[in-house]
Amino acid sequence: MVLRTKIIAIGDSAGNILPQEIPARLNLKEDDSLHFREIPGGYEISPIDQETVAKMEGVDRASSRYQDALKKLAE
């Protein structure tokens, strides 16, 4: 499936209106979150649940807290 959308201005940000097929196919509802993962040549977009968000935030906190130790381990 190939779909085209345009980026629109929303205040000081940029947004995108998804064609109906995308939320239907991903079983998305209003206020659901999307995860963007950089891949070669673009981004992969997938739905994300609150449990996953909480885990990702925990990883972010831990990596910030232990950044010096993680840098040493990487050497």
Domain range list for the chain:
7-74
Given the candidates 1.10.490, 2.10.260, 3.40.50, 3.30.470, the CATH classification of the domain at 7-74 is 2.10.260
pLDDT for the residue numbered 39: 93
22 closest CA partner among 38, 2, 39: 2
Instruction: Give 15-73 pLDDT, tens digit per residue.
Output: 998 898 889 988 898 888 888 889 999 988 888 877 877 888 888 899 889 989 888 89
Q: What is the dihedral of CA 40, 41, 46, 50, to 10 degrees?
A: 60
Q: Which helix H or strand E contains 54, and what residues bound it?
A: helix 50-65
pLDDT for the residue numbered 31: 87
pTM for the full predicted model = 0.51
Strand positions, DSSP E, the chain: 7-10, 13-16, 33-39, 42-48
pLDDT for the residue numbered 11: 94
